[in-house]
Amino acid sequence: MSTSDRLQDQVEELKEQVTRLQEENAVLVHDRDATRRWVNDLQAGQYVNCVYCGYQYGPVDTTPDAPSALLQAHVEQCPAHPMAQLKAELMALRDGCEALIKEYESIDTQLLRDLLDSSLESRP
């Protein structure tokens, strides 16, 4: 298997991993939003605690969006919440995939130049 083929296989594997993580992320976002609505109803005017790390803020305003906005801001950077971990993994995979694509495109371009050069050299 050539280097180009191996890189293409790695790119395809990374794309599949990114797709899988995006699907998992969509499920988690759905669950998070449902929980956020439930929390908003239960904790309007109360303190809000992160169930993963125990971080507490509040008392939150009675505005319906305020608790969810506070929760979202915390969840996105909470070191104990799976969403933050998935987001970090997704970003690392995306960066790796982009780097492999650039490397693949570079090699592919070089191969084309080599083929063109050898073709021109072999002409009488």
Interface residues with Zn ion (CB under 5 A) are 50, 52-53, 55, 78
Write down the least CB distance from residue 51 to Zn ion, Å.
8
Closest to 40 (Cα-Cα) out of 83, 78, 84, 71? 71
Q: Any idea of the CA torsion for 105, 106, 111, 117, to the nearest 10 degrees? A: 130
Write down the least CB distance from residue 22 to Zn ion, Å.
23
Of the pair 57, 104, the CB lying nearest Zn ion is at: 57
Of the pair 29, 53, the CB lying nearest Zn ion is at: 53
Q: 104: buried, middle or exposed (CB in 10 Å: 19+, 13-18, 0-12)?
A: middle
Of the pair 74, 93, the CB lying nearest Zn ion is at: 74
